[in-house]
Amino acid sequence: MQSAVQGVHAQAPDVQLTDLLRANASTAYPALRELRRRHRPAVLGYARLCGIGENSARQLTAQAFALAAHEVKQGAEPRGTWRHHLLLHVLRVARAWAADARCGRLAPGLLARLDATAAMATAPDGLFGREAAPAHPGGPTGLADPVMVAAFQSLPLRLQGIIWYGVVEEEPDPNTAVYVGASSDEVAQLKESALNAMRRAWLNSHLTHCGDTRCRGYGRLIEEAVRPGYARHSPDLHAHLADCACCSTAYAELTGLRDSPREVLADGLLGWGGAEYAGRGGAFAGGGGTACGVGGAFGRSRRAGRAEADAHARSGTNAEAAGPKSVHPGTYTAAAGSDEAADWWPSRRLVLVSVAVGVALAPLLVLLLSTDSEPAGRGAMLPPQQPPVTVTATATVSASPAPTMSAKPTKSAKPSERPAPPPPPSPSPSRTKSPAPPPPGAHFTQFVNAASGLCLDLPPHAYPQNGTDVVTAPCSSSPTQRWRVDADRGVIQSYAAPAYCLDSRGDVDKTIGIWTCSSVDGPNGLNLTFTVDTHGTIHPAIAPDHAVTPYSEAPGSLLAQLPSAGRADQRWTAGTAPA
């Protein structure tokens, strides 16, 4: 009997759960719940590397799941394994955050990488527009190694699953077997052959991208030279490695895939934080500037492979000129007279530039972020709502009586002496400027439009139900005007009808309504997901570059979803009336 915790689909492979997501809600919801049970802990762990604070990590995770489920519902297939697909969606959401006020909630190292690669990203500009773009090599942010991703996705889906779950994630064989639809014995037997297929696919993809006909002729020799346990070396290959950056890189990469497959695969297929996620890197903490594969175990494995490639090159035609030099595992020794910058392929140069940017920006980002630290506790996407504090001068600043000559024993003044000057005029109290009202937050409060002064409300005498419109109305003590931002679920919840939340209705051409909050965990959960930035702009998750905007400043106006332009009518502040 299946436990209540595992659910009815606990033994279903991921591909079957994908098909179930496209069914009706009663069938899709249990499938999505099972996917969350399987993959959410790992995705949340990666999101903690990408975001600052637990609330940011939870929201990155929730939006990644909602976006992935929405794509499947629209007919798109996950590229590769579900977990890797979800991890790339975390980076996809982070890329959207990096473009607006939410950038302060991202780890400084990741933010620096996203900024450094913004102009080079392969994703279309409208990635987070009305229609979700399919995943593609390099991931939606351009951070992943496109050659590694292309090679991985060229493998049969079962082999992809065995590599990701069994090698990178080190899941127990029974778990991997369930996810990929195989037996535990098959998983154990196929791990090595799956890695061999991955190495071969990577080599072919790499030589296609950077090599010429001559390089492709050496592919077999390179493969034989790094074969686990049965390496065969060739003098011709040694001579070629001394002069060819493409093949030298291939030798180094395959050496890393042979000696440290977990770290190399995680870094190449994620592009940021892979070594930390795999649990072997440790060179950066919480997304610091030394991420991206230049430190830790991943960096050492790559450098070891590079050193071995250089050693092979020196052992060939250049051995006499270079002189004997021992190469120890885990150390990096450059070839004599070589220019490393020329040898490194473009993504490696990008990594080095990105790390430099991260190191340069990290102190400034830490200083800026320390002035707006995240509040403790769950469910606070924005600072908890408090009534605005108005600092007023309650004590009148009056001038003290001017000191007179009689304050001290003095000689009597002569009649001809001038009288003491009159006291200076009393300075009037300076006006204290009231702080700007904060944006809505985790506590129930009014959502007041900055342009019209009207509040978010339900229509008069309307019975809350799925599909009810949301309007603006003169602010009052009505409980229907109280809402709160639930960051854990990414929803905006009603106080008068707590079972209901704002609903984008899945299309920016539609107006805002309400729907049952529990549907956020279903296949259309993205429709209920919103974020409120520090300016008070409400962004629908279906189109984060849009903002909830009243059609007019008249009471009773419906709410549209228009491109975000920073206008006053697109900003909302927290009201002062208590719930």
Examine the pLDDT at 389 and tell me if it is beyond 80: no
User: What is d(CA 522, CA 21) in angstroms, rounded to the nearest whole number?
Assistant: 9
User: What is d(CA 466, CA 117) in angstroms, rounded to the nearest whole number?
Assistant: 42
User: What is d(CA 153, CA 195) in angstroms, rounded to the nearest whole number?
Assistant: 13
Q: Phi first, then psi: what are they for 330, rounded to 5°?
A: 90, 0
Confidence class for position 303, pLDDT limits 50, 70, 90:
very low
Q: Which pair of structure tokens corresponds to residue 308?
A: 């071995």
Examine the pLDDT at 100 and tell me if it is beyond 80: yes
Cβ contacts of 340 within 8 Å, gap of 6 or more: 334
pLDDT at 66 (0 to 100): 86
User: Among 88-92, 235-239, 475-479, which stretch is predicted with the lowest mean pLDDT?
Assistant: 235-239
Q: What is the DSSP letter of 568?
A: G
Better-predicted residue by pLDDT, 461 or 397: 461
Q: Which pair of structure tokens corresponds to residue 527?
A: 């429709």
The string of pLDDT tens digits covering residues 503-554 is: 999 888 889 999 999 999 888 888 999 999 989 999 999 888 899 999 888 8
Is the full-model pTM beyond 0.85?
A: no
Q: Which of 112, 503, 542, 488 is nearest to 292 (CA)?
A: 112
Confidence class for position 160, pLDDT limits 50, 70, 90:
very high
User: What is d(CA 402, CA 65) in angstroms, rounded to the nearest whole number?
Assistant: 72
Q: Which pair of structure tokens corresponds to residue 129?
A: 């527009």
pLDDT at 280 (0 to 100): 45
pLDDT at 204 (0 to 100): 87
pLDDT at 155 (0 to 100): 93
3-state DSSP assignment of residue 7: coil
Confidence class for position 125, pLDDT limits 50, 70, 90:
very low
User: What is d(CA 106, CA 369) in angstroms, rounded to the nearest whole number?
Assistant: 10
Examine the pLDDT at 196 and tell me if it is beyond 50: yes
The string of pLDDT tens digits covering residues 433-479 is: 567 789 999 999 999 999 999 999 999 888 889 999 999 999 999 99
Residue with tokens 């992809």: 160
Spell out the domains of the chain, with CATH numbers in brackets: 14-362 (no CATH), 445-574 (2.80.10.50)
